[in-house]
Chain A
Amino acid sequence: MEAKANTENADWEAFPYLGGADVISVQRGPDPGGAGGAYRAFGETLRGLKTTFARILEGPVTIQYPEEKTPVYPRFRGRHKLHRFEDTGVEKCVGCSLCAAACPADCIRVVAAENDPANRVSAGERYAEVYEINLSRCIFCGYCEVACPFDAITMGHEYELSDYNRSDLIFTKEMLLAAPIDKVPLRREGE
């Protein structure tokens, strides 16, 4: 609502030093109390009853969490995933440790080893012998994903990461490589 200068009802005698034209008297809302106030309160109560009743017709908006999962956006940064080449099945990670260098929380540990040409683990010269992410430290910033030159590590959609032990939250290479359990629904367009 537009603020309006109420100059008609202003008491000029009370402010002789202001010279009239600059005085703006403001009334915030109608005068409370009295018969008018009671009448308004009654009307507003009816309006409130209508508002709350409309909520019943609308139905609950609650997501029943353990049974229903909150849908996430495609760009949601959840638990990491390590990837393999789909055709050959070798790992994309070459053990360069750029992700570990980029990690602000210092939660990635990579130990690289030379590939055996007869029995390749990764596509490059070297591979990650140890690849561990300490998820109790991870801040899910996604820098590792950005730093990786081979798109070997990406952020997944999984967010149910609680556990009983801190040590159980250190995810090894095998766990990160394993096909993710896609429990988390994706948000649809416009949701």
Chain B
Amino acid sequence: MTLPLADVGFAEATWILVVKSILIFLVIFMIMPVLTVVERKLLGRFQARYGPNRVGPYGLLQPLADALKLVSKEYYTPTSAVPLLYALGPMLVIFSGIAALAIIPVGNVKDGVGFYGIDVSIGVLYFFAFGSFAFYGLLLGGWASGSKYSFLGAMRSAAQLISYEVSMGLALLGAIMMAGTLSLTGIVEAQDEIWYIVPQIVGFLIFMIAGFAEANRAPFDLPEADAELVAGYQTEYGGMRYGTFALTEYVEMFLVSGIATTFFLGGWQGPGPGWLDPFWMLAKILTLILFFMWIRATLPRLRYDQLMSLGWKILLPLATLNVLVTAILVTVF
């Protein structure tokens, strides 16, 4: 089967694709609420306090209370906002986040069913396309809010995007060259001897640092910057629109962790029988997400110019050097 936009490595009947997409959607949206409460409880522990422990046993029903509160709130639009773009912002963000999840492979083809949304030959470019697309949502939402804080947050997100995106791509390039394919399943298959975190440790570190910026997480949560910009681009949003932005942060975190797992941590590979593959993948992703939370509890937010100089002066030269060295080694051996 050939799609007009991209070659597909392996594709099933349409109804299987539909079932798969619903399944991915459900699993992700079962995990997200758990992640929110885990993050809050973990942040509490990191700061020598308990975190939420009032709603339900051990506070585990907290996301339910949060969601109920957000859903029952008014959909307020400021008079200075551009209503259409204002409403479009969160939609674009959540759309691009979920769409990008489609390429994360949780297993290989088994019994004629591929354990991923879709295996496209452009693989990682798909991820970058939707990752950058998410920033249109932030930018539009923040700019259309008609508030100075939202505007500043939106501008920061744009400046942040151009500072880290290049080095993020270059960081993955090393792994791509070693595997010799852009397809994510192909890259995981290529790691059955050694996980790329060993030869590509520099690429992994650069990708993770850029990934914090991609997911708008501390220490690069400049667009949000709750200390100085109220809530940055989401200042004027309320109700489930705000909830969508908050949820997308977790989706993005999941996405970045998924890509990092696929490229550097051997994807679904692990000991045990074949049906364990999705669980290995999930376990690796969740470990990386815990690392995200640990970093959030540890590092203060970088200043605007510090992020830029980190991106351009340190990450980019390092990533380029990494690509260069990898290219030479791949050609020689």
Interface residues of A (CB under 8 A from B): 33, 38, 45, 48-49, 51-53, 55-56, 58-62, 64
Q: B299 to A58, Cβ gap below 8 A? A: no
A64 contacts which of B50, B295, B299, B313 (Cβ < 8 Å)?
B50
Q: What is the total of A-B residue contacts with beta carbons within 8 Å?
A: 37
Identify B49's interface contact among A38, A45, A62, CB under 8 A: A62
**Inter-chain contact B44/A60, CB cutoff 8 Å:** yes
A45: chain B residues within 8 A (beta carbon) = 298-299
Chain A facing B: main interface SS: helix
Q: Is B309 positioned at the interface, with any CB of A under 8 Å from its CB?
A: yes
Cβ–Cβ contact B48 & A60, under 8 A: yes
Q: Dominant SS at the B interface?
A: helix
Size class of the contact patch on chain B: 10 to 19
What per-residue 1/0 map shows which CB atoms of B16-55 lie under 8 Å from chain A?
0000000000000000000000000000111111100000
Residue of A nearest to B296 (CB): A52
B88 at the interface (CB under 8 A from A): no
Q: Is residue B282 contacting chain A, with contact meaning CB distance below 8 A?
A: no
User: A38: which B residues are within 8 A, CB to CB?
Assistant: 314
Complex Cα–Cα for A59 and B294 (A): 15
Q: Which positions in B face A, CB cutoff 8 Å?
A: 44-50, 294-295, 297-299, 309, 313-314
B168 smallest CB distance to A (angstroms):
17
Please state if A55 and B298 are interface contacts (CB–CB under 8 Å).
no
- Name the contact of B298 in the complex, choosing from A51, A58, A62, A64 (C-beta under 8 A): A51
- Residues on the B chain within 8 Å of A62, using CB: 48-50
Between A and B, 21 residue pairs with Cβ closer than 8 Å are A33-B309, A33-B313, A38-B314, A45-B299, A48-B298, A49-B295, A51-B298, A52-B294, A53-B294, A55-B45, A55-B48, A56-B46, A58-B48, A59-B45, A59-B48, A60-B44, A60-B45, A60-B49, A61-B49, A62-B48, A64-B50
Q: Name the CB-closest residue of A to B317.
A: A35
- Separation in Å of the B268 CB from the closest CB of chain A? 28
The interface residues of chain B lying within 8 Å CB-to-CB of A60 are: 44-45, 48-50
User: How far is it, in angstroms, between the C-alpha of A38 and the C-alpha of B297 when the chains are bound?
Assistant: 20
Complex alpha-carbon distance, A121 and B44, angstroms: 56
Determine the chain B residues whose CB is within 8 A of the CB of A55 once the complex forms: 45-48
Pick the 8 closest A-B CB pairs, nearest first.
Answer: A48-B298, A52-B298, A52-B46, A56-B45, A62-B49, A52-B297, A55-B48, A60-B50
> Nearest Cβ distance between residue A54 and chain B, in whole angstroms?
10
CB A53 to nearest CB in B, in angstroms, measures 7
A48, chain B: closest CB distance, angstroms: 4
Residues of B with C-beta under 8 A to A56 = 45-46
**Shortest Cβ gap from A35 to chain B (Å):** 8
Q: How far, in angstroms, from A38 to B47 measured CA to CA in the complex? A: 26
A55 to B49 CA separation, bound complex (whole angstroms): 9
Q: How far is the CA of A33 from the CA of B305 in the complex (A)?
A: 12
Q: How far is the CB of A12 from chain B (nearest CB, A)?
A: 33
- Tell me how far the C-beta of B292 lies from the nearest C-beta in chain A, rounded to whole angstroms: 12
Using A49-B298, A60-B49, A61-B49 as known contacts, list a sample of 12 further A-B pairs with CB atoms less than 8 Å apart, ordered by residue number in A: A48-B299, A52-B46, A53-B294, A55-B45, A55-B48, A58-B48, A59-B45, A59-B48, A60-B45, A60-B48, A62-B49, A62-B50
| A74-B207 Cα distance, complex, nearest whole Å | 58
Whole-angstrom distance from the CB of B163 to the nearest CB of chain A?
15
User: How far, in Å, is A58 (CB) from chain B's closest CB?
Assistant: 6
C-alpha gap A62/B295 in the complex (Å): 22
Nearest-neighbour CB distance to chain B for A31, whole angstroms, equals 14
